[in-house]
Structure 1
Amino acid sequence: MNETIKTLANHRSFRSYQYKEVTMETIEQIMLAAQSAPSWINGQHVTAILVQDVERKDRLAELCGNQKHIKEAPVFLVFCADFYRANLASNLEGKDFKAIEDIDTLLVAATDVGLAMQNAITAAESLGLGTVPIGGIRRNSLEVIEFLKLPKYVLPISGLCLGYPEGDPGLKPRLPLQAILHEEKYEQNQQPFLESYNQTYKEYLKDRGDKEADWTERIASFYHQSYYPSNAKSIKQQGFLSKDMNQ
């Protein structure tokens, strides 16, 4: 196992940070790695908003569901799907920007952000920093859009706390590799893997002194209802029309 794979396999989410500055040079190195991620047609459909001002981080923490680690992290990055530049390119070349009406554009947006943010996470960890992604940036996305002054065709996808970690939360066990690596065709008999993982997950919680629970119970409870139903309004407001969904 080489050092890159070791870094990736050792990933964990940190929610407590030291009172230690993360220099702009370090942030730029991390963002250089993010910018180097693969991108559909080299469209580079990602923008990250850097937030370090204490009061502004506090406000974003509120909008994300009062997540205190956003306040405590010295750096908070908001990764956005960005087709603003693609629209400008279309205007410059005198071409219609019709692809924004295609649901596939949303898939491209989310994929490009995910690839870029994973690069940023790996780069940060290689430099001794800790991170935790924040899906809660979509909890009140209309307010986040206004707060960050995001133009049309730009959509907040995920936040990322970044700082030098305080303590070690431990390595969270993953599903058996057989559950996610299928040979030649999809293996639909997933229940044995889930039952086995439930036991592994409960042991992990027990060792941490947490209340024991099945992983399947946690996932089922989470997906019991729509989590961020207001996102449809944000997507439409920002110009991602997805007209084909209505056909």
Structure 2
Amino acid sequence: MDRDAANPLEQVQGRYGAGQGPETALEATNPVLETLLGHRSIRSFTDQKLAPGTLETLVAAAQSAPTSSNLQAWSVVAVEDAARRGRLADLSGRQGFIRQAPLFLCWIADNSRLVRLGEAHQKKMEGLDYLEAFMVALVDAALAAQNALVAAESLGLGTVYVGQLRQHPEQVSAELNLPPNAFACFGMAVGHPAVQGAVKPRLPQSLVLHREQYQVAEEQPAITGYDKALGDFSLAQGMGQQDWTQRMMSRVGTAAGLSGRHRMREALTALGFPLK
């Protein structure tokens, strides 16, 4: 889709694939909406370096995200060293684009700063021992990262999240020199796109938008329609005609689909999170 030429409704519908989008949308658009609606994950990068100040600007955008009770319970480790990016790639399913991208951001759910604050004031921060505290840190990190992603894409850069950074939590923690109560929850490769790619269709709004109360009555027909849209997209992109249902059966149908991440509670405990 030519985003410059598209009208607002076409921009919104372009996120869902042929015939799958909503029938109405705002009559006006703006660059922020265009950036959001045009998101696509980039897994191939040029060797062009990032402009000076890019990292600092992305982190400022990340710090502009909302944060629960102003705890700001996250950090980010920026990895530019090629050797370290290579080791992190090996720990993340050997994904080659991590080596290609000039910047790899490791987003940290970070309660360690609050632990140190308590130690400085001789106070046990008891609230950090609970699962809720980890969930807050995880959400804070995700909100910050998404701000950075949108900022990067608004600058014409390409990005992709890397959940497989969680495959080997203890080894990643050692590589990044993380203190206890800090967890590398996902990575993000950032660089200049070698290939722009296409906008991948998302689930129809009828499956994710529930008005007043959660409804499942019409779920299966909508999934069937989405299976066709995603299957056609995958075929057009040279990835074979695998639909959403097939992908979900493979991804979460068995523990093997978690690629080692089934031991997350054990790893979090080892990294200092009590999770009461």
Q: TM-score range by the shorter chain?
A: over 0.9
- Uncovered stretches (5+) of structure 2, i.e. residues with no partner: 1-28
Q: Greater CA deviation, 31-40 or 87-96? A: 87-96
CA distance in 2, matches of 1:166, 1:145: 30
Report whether the alignment pairs 1:223 with 2:252.
yes
CA distance in 2, matches of 1:70, 1:99: 36
Partner of 2:114: 86
Report whether the alignment pairs 1:118 with 2:146.
yes
CA distance in 1, matches of 2:272, 2:253: 29
Report whether the alignment pairs 1:239 with 2:267.
no
Q: Greater CA deviation, 194-203 or 95-104? A: 95-104
Cα deviation for residue 193 of structure 1 reads 1.5
Equivalent residue pairs, number = 243
Q: Which runs of 4+ in 1 moved over 3 A?
A: none
Deviations 1:27-69 (A, max 9, x none): 1101100011111111111111011111111100000010000
Selected match of 2:64 from 36, 54, 64: 36
Partner of 1:71: 99
Match of 1:29, SS? helix
- Uncovered stretches (5+) of structure 1, i.e. residues with no partner: none
**Does the 8 Å CA contact 2:158/2:191 hold for their aligned counterparts?**
yes
1:187-206 to 2 correspondence within 5 Å? Answer: 187-189=215-217, 190-206=219-235
Structure-1-length-normalised TM-score: 0.95
**Does the 8 Å CA contact 1:100/1:239 hold for their aligned counterparts?**
no
Q: Which amino acid aligns with 2:155?
A: L
Q: Which amino acid aligns with 1:10?
A: G
Structure-2-length-normalised TM-score: 0.85
CA distance in 2, matches of 1:234, 1:16: 31
Relative to structure 1, is the Cα distance of residues 24 and 84 closer, same or farther in structure 2, using a 3 angstrom cutoff?
A: farther
Q: Which amino acid aligns with 1:94?
A: Q
RMSD of aligned alpha carbons: 1.2
**Does the 8 Å CA contact 2:78/2:105 hold for their aligned counterparts?**
yes
Q: Greater CA deviation, 62-71 or 223-232? A: 223-232
Higher relative contact order (CA 8 A, sep 6+): 1
Cα deviation for residue 206 of structure 1 reads 2.1
Selected match of 1:101 from 121, 129, 132: 129
